[in-house]
Amino acid sequence: MQTIDALDSTLRSYLDQEQTRLVRRAYYFAEQAHHGQLRRSGEPYVTHPLAVAAILADMHMDHQSLMAAMLHDVIEDTGIDKSAISNQFGATVAELVDGVSKLTQMEFDSLAEKQAENFQKMALAMARDIRVILVKLADRLHNMRTLGVLRPDKARRIARETLDIYAPIAMRLGMNTVRMEFEDLGFRALHPMRASRIEAARRASRGHRTELVDKIRHQIEAALEQEGHDVEVIGREKHLYSIYKKMKSKKKSFSEIMDIYAFRIIVDSVDTCYRVLGCVHSLYKPVPGEFKDYIAIPKANGYQSLHTVLMGMHGVPIEIQIRTLEMEEMANNGIAAHWLYKSEGQSANASHARAREWVKGLLEMQQRAGNSLEFIESVKIDLFPDEIYVFTPKGGILELPRGATAVDFAYAVHTDVGNSCVACRINRRLAPLSEPLQSGQTVEILTAPGARPNPSWFNYAVTAKARTNIRHFLKHQTRDDSVALGRRLLDKALVLFDTSLEQLPGEQVGDYLARHDYNALDDLLDDIARGNRLPPITAQQLLGEASKAQPTPDSKYSQPVAIRGTEGFMVSYAKCCHPIPGDPIEGYLSSEKGVVVHRESCKNLAEMRENRERLVALRWDDKVEGEYLTHLRVEVENRRGMIAVLATRINSMGVNIERISTEDKDYQFTYVDLELLVDSRVHLASIMKRLRAVSSVRRVIRLKN
């Protein structure tokens, strides 16, 4: 068990006497505050904050972080508040403690929401002081080390949260040592049987490997010594979770994963890194395409190293990492190494700046997210897949996750560029916005004034920043659309009582809004458009006593609502019957989907007519806009190349084909089903006429349902 005296000796090695005294004082304060409290293991509660401080001391964190570690549970678990800590230890320490403390005073609908709210609060505190997350990571690390005393279900929940959120955050901040321990401890808690079997297999294979590892290491050391390089060569062993992940993702056996031998070479300078690389490449043959230079282009978390894979004796693959001692420290401790190297300038500051940039991005996501659950999903996307590096037209480098597209690139440049993006050039050729980018490509974004995000971008945008901004923009558009549609629907219902929203007295509308807990009329109209309130019932409630008069359905005022095609998300088109302009249509008010437009002849609509108050009379506006999906079935002779003939004929009319599928009718004829985008029935009729003119086409029909 850690004691304050043992910790004191560690602190004296890098803190001055006054700072060490302040940390001791925080410990005694915490000891008094937690007096009488015990951990599940039966130990005094203060052993936990002491252990958290010891983890941070091993990283050589500053005295304020250590004081916050000592006090991090005081606000949450004792009667002492933030102001008392501020009076005793200063505002900075109090802010750190408050940032780490959980939200205990609020009630949440679910555990997931509570975790998301806690993380959101912590992210805001991180934006003020990045040390909040370091204290939190140390706190979580000690909790993971003592997971064995908890109930299995609670231990599994904490382990899952650690693997989903905290291990990736440690990775994102470059704290590799903490990340690996998180992963191994989480893996053991979630899958104890798998962990024990892999551990046993690793132990068994260690004996066979040791001799070969030593032989390869001696060869590398001898070759480098001969060239006059004074280096340290370390054999690396894969940790449990990385073995498990590789076995699972690559579908390989344990022996195949362990066939690779890994070494790290620690050198004295960046120049020596490249010289040593040349030496090892002359000693063993490098594997093409496996060299990565993270010194010239560091990872987003500040990680720097040269990576190469060599083919050693007997065809054994050897992974080599070459880095300086400072890079090694940064790789293991990441942003925490900022405090260790804070007097030495550039490298540590670059890592710190990257971390701040990431937190700034978190803050932007948090402001644009609708709620805490949406925010935490965005953060999970951002934490953190493999990276690719692409160039701007002016030669700048942007780092994006693997699978990113030009849309992600546009939002990475600037939110306004993303919002007004219309096309892109990849390596100077026009390319679709959905094309996945590759490392080394130069990407140019073409923008247009008045352009706006397309909902289809959600299908291929992968970065959290892009997805959050698209969602934010569309939400605002949706709100405006839904309010306008709600007004039209309510006016149509009121017109049956020979009145309209404009004619209703303001006090009458105000009373209704107050009775039903609406802050503004727009909130009510939004609810109507989303199908959460029905226009006829709302109209009757708004009119109160006056509504006892029967509505007049046959009144000259009773006109269908016109659909323009520009209503946005609050009007959707049924996938069962695919209505297009010119079709007789009717609408159904669906909760959250708003108005769903069906063809009048749709079989599904016939069933919905039992719920008459949700039906809406609709018609197409004279100036309807947009393209609408429709289905055609073409019966053709079984001849080679018929699909190409049909596609060419359709493309020549400038029509987009969304999907083609075929189904054999018999040995002589085949059905070709086409999904096309058309703007009206007239447009569709002209397409069908052109298809019927093809010699091998026997019949063309539009599918109804």
Higher model confidence: residue 654 or residue 338? 654
Q: Provide the sign of the torsion angle of the four alpha carbons 121, 126, 131, 134, taken in this order.
A: positive
Quick one: pLDDT band at residue 49, thresholds 50, 70, 90? very high
Instruction: Summarize pLDDT for 586-626 with one digit per residue, the tens.
Output: 888 876 567 888 998 888 887 777 777 778 888 888 888 77
Domains, the chain, ordered by start: 4-190 (1.10.3210.10), 199-340 (3.30.460.10), 387-462 (3.10.20.30), 471-620 (no CATH), 628-702 (3.30.70.260)
Question: Which residues lie across from 659 on neighbouring strands?
Answer: 675
State pTM to two decimals. 0.58
Instruction: Summarize pLDDT for 188-241 with one digit per residue, the tens.
Output: 999 999 999 988 888 887 766 777 888 888 989 999 998 888 889 988 777 888
Residue 478's pLDDT is what? Answer: 65
Task: Tell me if 209 sits within 8 A of 261, measured CB to CB.
Answer: yes
Residue 346's pLDDT is what? Answer: 44
Higher model confidence: residue 552 or residue 392? 392
CA-to-CA distance for 574 and 590, rounded, in angstroms?
A: 11
Encoding tokens for residue 495? 């017109």
What are the angstrom distances between the C-alpha of 538 and each of 300, 592, 595? 54, 17, 16
pLDDT (average), residues 344-360:
56
Quick one: pLDDT band at residue 506, thresholds 50, 70, 90? confident
CA-to-CA distance for 68 and 77, rounded, in angstroms?
A: 15
Who contacts 394 (Cβ-Cβ below 8 Å, separation ≥6)? none
Question: Which residues lie across from 561 on neighbouring strands?
Answer: 618
594-599 and 571-573 beta bridge pairing: parallel
Quick one: pLDDT band at residue 317, thresholds 50, 70, 90? confident
Residue 345's pLDDT is what? Answer: 42
pLDDT (average), residues 381-409:
78
Highest mean pLDDT among 98-102, 235-239, 422-426, 490-494: 422-426
pLDDT exceeds cutoff 50 at 340: no
CA-to-CA distance for 252 and 257, rounded, in angstroms?
A: 7
Least confident stretch, 313-317, 339-343, 443-447, 626-630: 339-343
Task: Tell me if 243 sits within 8 A of 200, measured CB to CB.
Answer: no
Could you give the residue ranges of the DSSP H alpha helices within 34-130?
47-58, 63-71, 74-77, 82-89, 91-100, 111-128
pLDDT exceeds cutoff 90 at 112: no
As to burial, measured by CB atoms within 10 angstroms (0-12 exposed, 13-18 middle, 19+ buried), residue 328 is: buried
Name the nearest CA neighbour of 306 among 316, 318, 317, 297.
Answer: 297
pLDDT exceeds cutoff 80 at 1: no
CA-to-CA distance for 514 and 554, rounded, in angstroms?
A: 33
pLDDT exceeds cutoff 90 at 406: yes
pLDDT (average), residues 169-186:
86
Residue 362's pLDDT is what? Answer: 63
- 668 C-beta neighbours (distance < 10 Å), count: 9
pLDDT exceeds cutoff 90 at 290: no
Encoding tokens for residue 255? 């022996």
Q: Known catalytic residues?
A: 76-77
CA-to-CA distance for 488 and 66, rounded, in angstroms?
A: 61
Residue 124's pLDDT is what? Answer: 65
699: enclosing H helix or E strand: strand 697-702
What are the angstrom distances between the C-alpha of 296 and each of 273, 305, 357, 397? 11, 9, 20, 11
Could you give the residue ranges of the DSSP H alpha helices within 451-505?
464-495
Quick one: pLDDT band at residue 551, thresholds 50, 70, 90? low
DSSP letters of 196-251? Answer: HHHHHHHHHHHHHHHHHHHHHHHHHHHHHHHTT---EEEEE---HHHHHHHHHHHT
Task: Tell me if 446 sits within 8 A of 413, measured CB to CB.
Answer: no
pLDDT exceeds cutoff 80 at 347: no
Quick one: pLDDT band at residue 368, thresholds 50, 70, 90? low
pLDDT exceeds cutoff 60 at 495: yes
Encoding tokens for residue 411? 């939002």
